[in-house]
Structure 1
Amino acid sequence: MISHFLKLEWKQFYRAASFGKSIGLKILIGFFALYFVVMFLLMGIGAYFGLKEMYPTQDPFVVVNSFLLYAVIGDLIFRFLMQKLPLMNVQPLLTLNIKKSTIVHYILIKSAASFFNIMSLFFYIPFAIVLIKEGYDVEGVLGWLFFMILLIQIVNYLNFLINKNNSAFGFLLVLLIGGFLVQYYQIFNLPAYVGKWFYYIYENPIYATIAILVLMFLYRLNFKQLLGLFYLDEVVSKKVKQVNASDLSWTDKLGDVAPFIKNDLRLMWRNKRTKSSVWMLIMALLYGLIFYPNPIYADKESFFIFIGVFSTGAFLINFGQFIPAWDSGYFNMLMSQNFKYERYLKSKFTLMTISVIVLFLLGIPYVYFGWKILVVHFAAMIYNIGVNTYVLLLGGSFNRKKIDLDQKAAFNYQGTGAVQWLIGIPLMAFPMALFALINWWVSFEIATLTIAALGFIGLAFHKVFMKLITKRYIATKYKMIHAFNQNN
């Protein structure tokens, strides 16, 4: 029966109407997957020797174990945002003489072989082989590796249980950030303490079997949860949900664009695709903590602009690159209303501008790592408002792919086309290259001033740019309507 399910999914894959249209994108995603596999493989092979050089007085295996707390929690957060249960189209199967338990078992087993689980193995397996070659106890290393493989699956099934629980996501973020802060300020070395337990598995491999019991327990919980949802009336019935409307009266102060901004805010909070993007803002805001505390990047000032543009423009990039595809589900109705197109685009510009300012203000504590970082973040904020907003609005006029808002954001390439890949050049690559060149040739101050000046020039010509962009949207209006009416 399992082989039959696999044949059905393969037929569904290559017989789909979108197969030919998205084959190029699938190849591109495949290259990215191959890139990550190679990177993890190289890390697994070189981690022992790299850590031995960085920490000559410590055992590299102990160092790796001390980082596993971050790795496991980070993996769970990453899965929460990006992974979804690999469901198949079960509705036609529910009327056939196939046990529901068989379908559920297939779905859960299939999830165990997802790319999220396989990718980590390209680090752990080579690392374990290096440990054995370096003289570590073979039984201990194999027991540790066996435990890590089971832990990957535990995280996989745990993610499906907490996937819709925002409180669990918040707890994971607090644990991750809290663990880093108490270690950074030398209050308590939580990662090292947890690392001792991982090392204990190496010293006593028999205890790795405890993970089997935990895995079986989580598998059983997932099985019962999914089995309770596999009923035909659950699939075909229309669910009526009560919507809790938020108080958005504060947007009325924004003038004639307020109705559009209210619509966008409701859209972001009520739909999976946009809600996942909002949660990703937290990770983008904390992105600088990966680099700024590290002494290696202390003198690499040209890298500050990349972090500044990304952290202050995280929402701008995530939201702006899919304008107006977010509204593709009701674009026909929207375009039939009696309003000026410029109002619609102005609302997008206003929303993106507000997000950039708010993220900059939230990122002010980065001044702790140096005044230069705050200055660069300010310049990046101005650049995002005065340049990148127009770039994204102009790029949106080329969007022709519809977006299903009920799907998650991460590793979901629906709505993604060549525009989204090419637009990264003016968004990120250009300011970084320009800043690095001027910083090397002239000075840090002039480089920062140049980036900010480009943003101020963009703001000075705001009306001119908005009129040109509006004309572009009006010229392609009916092409977008026709494209959004097509099934992806």
Structure 2
Amino acid sequence: MIRDLLSHGLKSQTRSSFWQRSLVINILLGLFVAYLMLNFLFLGFFLDKILEEIFPGVPPLEKFNELLLYSMLFSLIFRFLMQSFPLLDIQGYLLLPIRKSRLYHYLLVKSVFNFFNLMPLFFVIPFAIKTVFPQQGSGSAWLAVLLLIVLFNNFMAFYLKRQFSARPLAVLALVVAIGTLGFLDWKSVLPLSAYFGQGIGAVMQQPLWLAVPAVLVAIAYWLTFRLLRRYTYLDAMATGQQSVAQSSQGFSVLTRFGQAGHYLQLELKQIWRNKRPRTMLVLAVLILFYPLMVDEELAAGKTGMALFMVSLAIIFPTASYGQFLISWESQFFNLLMARPVSSRAYLEAKYYLFLLFTSITLLLELLLGLLNYHFIPLVLASGLFSMGVTAYIIMYFATYNTRPVDPGKSAMMNWEGVGASQFILMIPVFLLPMAFYWGVSLLGGPNAALATLAVLGITGIALKNRILPLLQKQFERRKHILATSFKKK
């Protein structure tokens, strides 16, 4: 039965209308895939030389086994963001006399044959032929470990992605835990990569240890199978969404703060319940670790690059959500404008949301001060500048985004709502604090530059009641254009 279902799936792919759109597009797509394959082949073939150059004195195979842990985690995150599970492929079979368990097994088996599982082979096989086989004889145990890692990532990515819809905080906590362990390994406090490399070396010496990754793959398969059995039908998914909705009832306390609090409550519920803004939260958590890459530069007195990384980590949640600040409500924007509400309260809610985002990231980034106290003034200056300057810039440019956005869709490879204003917005948002910093530091030094950023931010926060009316006038001028554009599209 599973073989017949796989045959149906292959026929549906080969007969898809996608391949009948344009011969030129198909040729270009084929050339792009061939280009990627050739790049992976060449990289795998010369990887031993690259590792010898970067890590002199360390055997390439030993270092590759250690770095494989980072590759595994990066692949898992990349799959979580990019890979989609073909759950709709069994929709036509649900009413037929076919055991549901076979359909679930079919989905899991079919998920193995995809682009994300194929590409690592073009990278690993040349490295194995050139480096592993001459050292280890057959090297079959090493290849088996890598294939099992690929399968583990395949099933776990689907499992985590489905769990994220029902338990986003649990998945975010897992991301933070993985990032923390990665940092501890990078600082050699807990050398997990070395242990991981030793584990792969043990498998190469004694293939019986292959049972360990095989059991992990079986566990990942079983977890995903159980999740499929639970969430196949729409009513089951509705139950999951209902639990998410119930978990957001704590936001109701915000309604005590008037209309602005009511709108802030709606904003937070929208983020909590929809796929695209929730995915942005995951990206924001990952970017929180970016400043760790410049820890050594900061210790050496190179403040500029460290400030850019800190600013990026603090501003990213505000900028990624704020670029669609009004477009998020495009599906019911006309309803909002038809109600007797104050546009001032509407904009205040947006501003308070930015303050909330920035305050959370600022507090989290202050933890970097436990590792290097030089991070503290950078975090405070960047956070205050974001609250008092960057937030207003984002709100102003958001009034020019007339493209609607469906927050329920996935964020990856989704260009919905993206226009010229988003690209223009990135220039002042990320470069303006650096421009102020470099300009003032040339005259008064880095400390004076950081103090200037902080003072500008505090001034902007203090002048909120003067700046928001100006943004309100801009919004009043643009709201009918926005409503018309959202309605047409």
Where on the TM-score scale, by shorter chain, does this alignment land: which range?
A: 0.7 to 0.9
Residue identity in the other structure for 1:58: V
Over 3 Å counting, the alpha-carbon distance change for 1:112 and 1:451 in structure 2 is: farther
Of 311-320 and 453-462, deviating more is 453-462
- Note the 1:172-187 alignment, pairs <5 A: 173-178=176-181, 180-181=183-184, 184=187, 186=189
The answer for the alignment partner of 1:382 in structure 2 is: 384
Of 192-201 and 65-74, deviating more is 65-74
Aligned equivalents of 1:412, 1:103: Cα separation in 2:
29
Over 3 Å counting, the alpha-carbon distance change for 1:119 and 1:398 in structure 2 is: farther
Return the structure number with greater helix share: 2
Over 3 Å counting, the alpha-carbon distance change for 1:39 and 1:330 in structure 2 is: farther
The answer for the alignment partner of 1:399 in structure 2 is: 401
Task: Tell me if the contact between 1:81 and 1:280 (Cα under 8 Å) persists in the aligned partners.
Answer: no
Of 148-157 and 36-45, deviating more is 36-45
- Note the 1:304-383 alignment, pairs <5 A: 304-383=306-385
1:85 aligns with 2:85: yes
Residue identity in the other structure for 2:159: L
- Note the 1:420-435 alignment, pairs <5 A: 420-432=422-434, 435=437
Aligned equivalents of 1:438, 1:226: Cα separation in 2:
57
Over 3 Å counting, the alpha-carbon distance change for 1:2 and 1:213 in structure 2 is: farther
Aligned equivalents of 1:403, 1:72: Cα separation in 2:
33
Of 86-95 and 358-367, deviating more is 86-95
Task: Return the match for 1:154 from 135, 152, 155.
Answer: 152
The answer for the alignment partner of 1:20 in structure 2 is: none
The higher-RCO structure (CA 8 Å, 6+ apart) is 1
Residue identity in the other structure for 1:68: L
Shift of 1:390: 1.8
Shift of 1:486: 4.8
How does the TM-score come out when normalised to structure 2? 0.77
Task: Tell me if the contact between 2:104 and 2:228 (Cα under 8 Å) persists in the aligned partners.
Answer: yes
1:320-370 residue CA offsets vs partner (Å, 9 max, x unmatched): 111112222321211111122122112101110132123212221222344
Task: Tell me if the contact between 1:387 and 1:454 (Cα under 8 Å) persists in the aligned partners.
Answer: yes
The answer for the alignment partner of 1:163 in structure 2 is: 161
The answer for the alignment partner of 1:265 in structure 2 is: 268
Shift of 1:256: 4.1
Task: Tell me if the contact between 2:259 and 2:346 (Cα under 8 Å) persists in the aligned partners.
Answer: no
Over 3 Å counting, the alpha-carbon distance change for 1:148 and 1:310 in structure 2 is: same
- Note the 1:22-61 alignment, pairs <5 A: 48-61=48-61
CA RMSD, Structure 1 to Structure 2 (Å): 4.3
- Note the 1:188-199 alignment, pairs <5 A: 188-199=190-201
Shift of 1:196: 0.8
Task: Return the match for 1:285 from 267, 284, 288.
Answer: 288
How does the TM-score come out when normalised to structure 1? 0.78
Q: How many residues align?
A: 469
Task: Tell me if the contact between 1:80 and 1:169 (Cα under 8 Å) persists in the aligned partners.
Answer: no
Over 3 Å counting, the alpha-carbon distance change for 1:476 and 1:39 in structure 2 is: farther
Task: Tell me if the contact between 1:302 and 1:439 (Cα under 8 Å) persists in the aligned partners.
Answer: no
Aligned equivalents of 1:357, 1:236: Cα separation in 2:
33
Over 3 Å counting, the alpha-carbon distance change for 1:217 and 1:304 in structure 2 is: closer
Shift of 1:388: 1.6
Matched residue of 1:139: which SS? coil
Matched residue of 1:475: which SS? helix
The answer for the alignment partner of 1:448 in structure 2 is: 450
Structure 1: stretches of 5+ with no match in the other structure: 16-22
Aligned equivalents of 1:13, 1:344: Cα separation in 2:
47
Aligned equivalents of 1:97, 1:299: Cα separation in 2:
70
Over 3 Å counting, the alpha-carbon distance change for 1:220 and 1:286 in structure 2 is: closer
Task: Tell me if the contact between 1:183 and 1:190 (Cα under 8 Å) persists in the aligned partners.
Answer: no
Over 3 Å counting, the alpha-carbon distance change for 1:480 and 1:300 in structure 2 is: same
Shift of 1:310: 2.0
The answer for the alignment partner of 1:73 in structure 2 is: 73
The answer for the alignment partner of 1:136 in structure 2 is: 135
The answer for the alignment partner of 1:18 in structure 2 is: none
Residue identity in the other structure for 2:437: F
Residue identity in the other structure for 2:392: Y
Task: Tell me if the contact between 2:297 and 2:306 (Cα under 8 Å) persists in the aligned partners.
Answer: no
Of 237-246 and 277-286, deviating more is 237-246
Over 3 Å counting, the alpha-carbon distance change for 1:396 and 1:97 in structure 2 is: farther
Residue identity in the other structure for 1:262: Q
Residue identity in the other structure for 2:85: L
